[in-house]
Amino acid sequence: MVGYTLLAYKTARIIDDETKQRNRTTALITFLAVVISTLFVFKYANFFLDSSYSLLGFRLLPQLNLLLPLGISFYTFSTISYIVDVYKGVTKARKSILDVGLYVIFFPSLLAGPIVRAEVLMPQFACDSSVDWIAIRSGIAQIVWGMLKKVYVADSIAPIANEVFASPENVSGLGLVLGTLAYTVQVYCDFSGYSDIAIGSARLLGIELPKNFEKPYLAYSITDFWRRWHISLSNWWRDYLYIPLGGNRGGNLRTYANLMITMLLGGLWHGAGWNWVVWGGLQGAMLSIERATGLSSKPTSKIKYFIRWLVTLCLICTSWIFFRASNLNSAVVVLERIFTFADGRIPIDYRPLFYIATILLVEWFDLKQKWMSWTQNHPNSLKWITCAMAIALMFTFAGASSSNFLYFQF
């Protein structure tokens, strides 16, 4: 983080120096080469070494025994956006290295996002303002909401998904469907719960982070899903990868190719494994098919919306199998056993049906927004609810094993 901060600070100052136009592009390319190659070495070197060994039968280099630096995936994207925006003139290079350092290591969003643009975050660091009790109440309410999703939904259903995906060959087809639904709930409540906690924590400090989720499981298409899921990452892919590749310029085939490249790299960003590559490829293929068939547009009737929502949700759940499986072979086993209605020895647990139904109802009736509005009008009640929640969490964590947020691994 220190190295990235110093490099980003110096590179931005070079790019922003109008008297040295020749050095701007060189500085940009050098910065991108350094940070991307660093991320590659730490995160992907072993994956490509193992793949080359499987293909060639011998190792080009020995395995690298490296510890992944804390938050490197997220602050790599953050610093790239800062440098590119300075290069494009979207934002000015900061003269204070402390501003750049705080931007890189801002703790609420460091480990799992949201990925915040410099033009959004840095001006807020320099803003003098008094204590805003309305914002503080809103931040506390959002933290409580996020903790509820993480601790009492995601963590409580995680054992079902873990058991199913640990030994899929022993689970029936129906059990694997329910296990996939369990992970569908877990990954959403875990990650959106973290985002709520991060946004709420920053709001306590007078900093507003961008919204990262907008009821994604109500999406009517995969295109709509990516407008609602991990919004900050989706926007980053669009602005710093898809559009520079050419976006939707240059004809349909070029557009589909750009979508595939973007989502394949997005899959690899999540993890170094062939299951991640397949997951990214599926996303790119579905986005391309929707664009080619016109299914990315909003449905014109409630019946069409319902049908397309149901198909979209099934596609999302199916793609999560590759996201959750330990490797590509395990994902294939899960799919084979689901589609062949295989029998299994592990008992079937129907609780994921209740959880997914609850999530859908909460999103449909927009209960989060109702909760946020209610807490603003009832500050005393919020105080007692927060105290009760804190006590409940103490007892919950007292007997719990470590349960990290899922996106910490990325």
Helices 302-324 and 173-204 pack at an angle, to 10 degrees, of: 90
The CA-atom distances, in angstroms, between 388 and each of 145, 242, 384, 385, 403 are: 13, 46, 6, 5, 22
The CA radius of gyration of the chain, in Å to the nearest whole number, is 23
DSSP 164-228: HHHSGGGS-HHHHHHHHHHHHHHHHHHHHHHHHHHHHHHHHTT--PPP--S-GGG-SSHHHHHHH
Q: Are the C-beta atoms of 195 and 147 separated by less than 8 Å?
A: no
- Calculate the CA 160 to chain-centre distance: 22
Annotated active-site residue 378? The verdict is: no
> Which among 270, 318, 379, 396 is annotated as catalytic?
270
Residue 97's contacts (CB-CB under 8 Å, 6 or more residues apart) are: 5, 6, 9
Let me know the angle formed at the C-alpha of 249 by 243 and 250, rounded to the nearest 5 degrees.
130
Phi, psi of 230, rounded to the nearest 5 degrees = 40, 60
Q: Which residues contact 281 (CB under 8 A, 6 or more apart)?
A: 260, 263, 264, 267
List the one residue out of 108, 120, 263 whose CA is nearest residue 198: 108
Burial readout 20-32 (b: 16 or more C-beta within 10 A, e: otherwise) = eeeebeebbeebe
Residue pair 291/256 in contact by the 8 Å Cβ criterion: yes
d(CA 405, CA 392): 19
In angstroms, the CA 237 to CA 263 distance is 8
Structure tokens at 356: 């997914």
> What is the maximum span of the chain, computed from C-alpha positions, in angstroms?
72
Peptide bond connecting 159 to the previous residue in cis, omega within 30 degrees of 0: no
Question: From CA 208, how far away is CA 220, in angstroms rounded?
Answer: 29
The residues carrying an active-site annotation are 270
